[in-house]
A = this chain, B = another copy of it.
Amino acid sequence: MALRHAVLAVLLGGELSGYQLAKVFDTGVSNFWFASPQQLYTELTKLEQAGLVDGRLVIQVNRPNKRVYTVTEDGVAELDRFAAADAKPAVIRDDLLVKVHAVDPSRARAVVARIEERAVQAAAKAELFDETLRNLRGDLDEETFLATAERIGPYLTCLRGKRFEEENLDWCRRSADLIRARWGAEMREE
């Protein structure tokens, strides 16, 4: 049950609505915490009931009203406790690697196709992380930013995300090539 901490960590960057939070989780945070919009709406309600965030209704013209959330003092205290606790090993579940693990001549064609799809997505995500990094830095170069910024956490996690996707891309290309090299003949025969 650390979704709550992931939400609190993101809200540290400023008040957000459930919808905005879902977008952040879909991009900047997706490399270390996956959560669906439904989960986030539910979690925000629970966090507000627990007093860890404050909700505030924002009346909007030209679009539906929204409820934005801020971390409370209790929420910050909860993050303090969380930071002090041992980090659990990361949980990863990746369909694509399961497919690759099971690859054989008869499945090679399908698996290579899946790998190539993932390669495209990885390249796009790496670019997205890079864009986020540029936005976080603003006019500063990386060194200056990291030495002076109020919050360097989001930048550090984003660096990890960018590298992860770059490595994904590299692995996808190499693996697809190797599978074709190993079973190219059988793949063509089918």
Which residues of A are at the interface with B, using a C-beta cutoff of 8 A?
A: 2, 5-6, 8-10, 12, 29-34, 79-80, 82-84, 86-104, 106-107, 110-111, 114, 117-118, 121, 146-149, 151-154, 156-157, 159-160, 163-164, 167, 171, 175, 178-179, 181-182
Nearest Cβ in chain B — how far from A133, in angstroms?
Answer: 14
| CB-contact partner of A93 in B8, B33, B84, B102, under 8 A | B33
Hey, which chain B residues are within 8 Å of A182, CB to CB? 146-149, 152
| CB-contact partner of A107 in B6, B79, B95, under 8 A | B79
Hey, which chain B residues are within 8 Å of A98, CB to CB? 2, 5-6, 9, 32-33, 82
Listed by A's residue number, 28 A-B pairs whose Cβ atoms lie within 8 Å are: A2-B95, A5-B98, A6-B98, A8-B102, A12-B102, A12-B104, A30-B92, A32-B98, A32-B101, A82-B99, A82-B102, A83-B114, A87-B95, A87-B99, A87-B118, A90-B94, A90-B95, A90-B96, A91-B92, A100-B156, A101-B153, A101-B156, A103-B153, A104-B151, A146-B178, A152-B178, A156-B179, A159-B171
